[in-house]
Amino acid sequence: MASSVNIPDFWYRRVCKISLALSAAVIAIWAGEILLPSSMPAVAFDLSWPAIAGFGLTLIVSLTAVIFSRRINAFYGAQASYLALAAALLLATLPGPAGSLAFWVVWSAVAVFAGFFGSWNLLAISAVASAYIGYLLATVSQPTGRTALLIWVTLAPLVISFLVWRRRKTPHDEKEQAYSALARQLSQIANKSDIVINAIADGVVAIDHKGIVQLINPAGQTMIGWSANDAIGLDYRSVLKIVNERGESLDDEQDIIQQVLKTNITTSSNDFAIMTSTGKKFLASLSVSPVGSLGSGAIVVFRDITQETAEGRQQAEFISTASHEMRTPVAAIEGYLGLALNPQTANIDDKARAYLTKAHESAQHLGRLFQDLLDVSRADDSRLNNNPQVIDVVAFVREVVTSLAPQAASKQLAMIYKPDIEQVRSQRISPMFYIVADVDHLREVLNNLIENAIKYTRQGDVTADVTGDDETVTITITDTGIGIPPEDIPHLFQKFYRVDSTATREIGGTGLGLYLSRRLTEAMGGHIEVKSQYGQGSQFTLKFNRLSNKEAAERIEDNAGKPQT
C-alpha cells in the first residue's frame, strides 16, 4: 500500500539514511563496549541479544536500501528500514539497568512517524507495540505509576502519528488530484506549444474542416498584415490570399489548401505568392499538412522567399555568366593544345607531348565542368526550355548508342543494343515506342548515362535496352562496372556528389552529370532510378509515359513532320 500522503522519494531516501545512521551508531557503541570497555563512558548500554540482532538487521536493510536506492522502489526501501528500526527500538526497551529509558525516548520520536507509510503500517506497529506492552505487564511487575508511563510512552506517539498522518484520500480527493494533475499537464503542454508556435519565425495558420481560420501565429500576422482577432473565424481565402506568380487568384483545383483538405496528403510548393492585407505580394514557400482524418482541417506554414529567390537567381546568373565567359578561353586553350599535339601542325619531342597531353585532358575536363555548370545553373533557374516532340525511342536510343560506340571500343568494352540483337535473333522487328519529350534533353541524359557506364566499367559490356507496356516506356543502361556502394545510392542524384573510392578517384568527373540528368528527366515528366551491385555493375532506368502509336501518328501528321530520331 502506498503512503496516504503524497511524499516525494527524497524523503523516503532520508528515512533509510536516518535508520542507517541510528542503527550504525547503536552497533558502534555496543561494539565499542565489548572491544574497548575501558575507553567507553560509564553508562552501559546493556542491550539484549534480540535488540542487537534488531539493530544489526536495521543496519543491513537500510544500507541495502541506500546502496540500491536508484533501483528499488523508494517507498518499500524506507518502509522496510523503518519497520526494522521500530522493532529494534522496541526490543531495546526491554528492561535493563539504564539503557532502556534512553531507548524509550528514541522510540517515542521514531513512532511518531509510523503513519508516514500509511495506515496499514501504523496499524501493524500499533498491534506489535500493544502486544509488547501486554507481554511486559504480564511478565515484569511494575509500580502502577511506571505502568501508566510505559503505556503512555509506547502508545501516545502512535496516536500522535495517527493524528498527524491520517489525511486519507477520499474518492473525491483522488478525482481532484487526477484532475489537477491533468490540468497541470495540459496547461504545461498548452503553454509549451503556445511558446513554440509564437516563437516560430514562419507563418502558421490552422484552419478547420470548413476552411475557417482557427489560429494564426504572430509571425503569420506580421507577414500577411492581419491581426489574430480579425483573422480568426474568417474563411482562410479572405485572410491567406494565395495567388500564382502573375498575381491571379487560384481556382479550387490549383489551391493547395483545398487539395490537402480533399486528399489528406501533405503538400509543399514554392510556386505561389501571397497577397497581404495591403495588397502587396510576396513569393512564398508554402507547406500544407492535413490534421486528423480526411477533410478535418489543415495547418499551413508559410515563409517569405522573395529575397531568397532573388539571391538564388543572381547566384545562378553569376555562375551561368562566369561559366559562359570562361568556356571561351578554355575552348581556345583546348584548340591550341590540340594543334600542338597534332604531328601535322607541330613538331614536339616525346616529353613535351606527354606534358601537353596531360594539359589537353585537363583543359577538356575544365571545358566539361563549365558546360555542366552552365547546364546546372540553367536547370536550377528553371530556365530549362522544354520543347516536347514525339520521339521514336528505339531509333533515338540506337542513334545515341552508335555515336558512343567508338568510346566504348577504345576501352575494349562491348556496346550492346538489345532491340537490335533481339531483332536479329527472332527475325522480328521490335515494337514502336513513342514518347513526348525534349530531344536535346533526352540526348543529354542518355549521353550522360552511357558515358558514365563506359567510364566506370573496366571490362565487360555496356547494354542499352528499350522496353515498355501500354502505359510506360523504359530505357535501361546496364554495365558490368565497378558498381555503387549502397550507402551512396540515395545521394547519387545530388549536385556535386561523387562516390569516394580508390576506383572513382582515378576517374575524372564533376558530380554534376547525374544531378543534371535527374533535373532534365523530371522536366520532361519522366523518372530516373538506379540499381547497383557494388563491384558487379549498375543499371540506370529512365521511365516515360508512353504515347500510343495511333496518337503518335496523329501528332506527327498534325505537325506535318517526321518523328525525331
Which positions touch ligand ADP (CB under 6 A)? 448, 452-453, 456, 479, 481-484, 492, 497-499, 504, 509-515, 538
Quote the CA–CA distance of 365 and 371 in Å, as a whole number.
10
272, β-bridge pairs: 284
Residues 6+ apart with CB under 8 A from 121: 1, 79, 82, 83, 114, 115
Quote the CA–CA distance of 116 and 86 in Å, as a whole number.
13
CA-based end-to-end distance of the chain: 86
Quote the CA–CA distance of 500 and 403 in Å, as a whole number.
29
| Residue 256 · residue 288 · CB < 8 Å | yes
What minimum distance in Å lies between the beta carbon of 478 and ligand ADP?
Answer: 9
What minimum distance in Å lies between the beta carbon of 541 and ligand ADP?
Answer: 12
3-state secondary structure at position 442: helix
Measured from each CB, the residue nearest to ligand ADP is: 509
What minimum distance in Å lies between the beta carbon of 540 and ligand ADP?
Answer: 7
Quote the CA–CA distance of 329 and 523 in Å, as a whole number.
31
Residues 6+ apart with CB under 8 A from 471: 545, 546
Question: Cα–Cα–Cα angle for 522, 528, 534, nearest 5°?
Answer: 150
Burial degree of 198 (CB within 10 A; 0-12, 13-18, 19+): exposed
Residues 6+ apart with CB under 8 A from 477: 446, 449, 450, 453, 462, 463, 464, 539, 540
Q: Say what angle helices 393-409 and 439-455 make with each other, to 10 degrees.
A: 30
In terms of CB distance, is 157 or 513 closer to ligand ADP? 513
| Residue 432 · residue 547 · CB < 8 Å | no
In terms of CB distance, is 77 or 481 closer to ligand ADP? 481
Residues 6+ apart with CB under 8 A from 514: 448, 452, 492, 493, 497
Torsion of CA 343, 348, 349, 351, to 10 degrees: -110
Phi, psi at residue 411, to the nearest 5°?
-105, 15
What minimum distance in Å lies between the beta carbon of 534 and ligand ADP?
Answer: 9
Residues 6+ apart with CB under 8 A from 494: 515
What minimum distance in Å lies between the beta carbon of 370 and ligand ADP?
Answer: 13
3-state secondary structure at position 212: strand
In terms of CB distance, is 498 or 519 closer to ligand ADP? 498
What minimum distance in Å lies between the beta carbon of 450 and ligand ADP?
Answer: 9
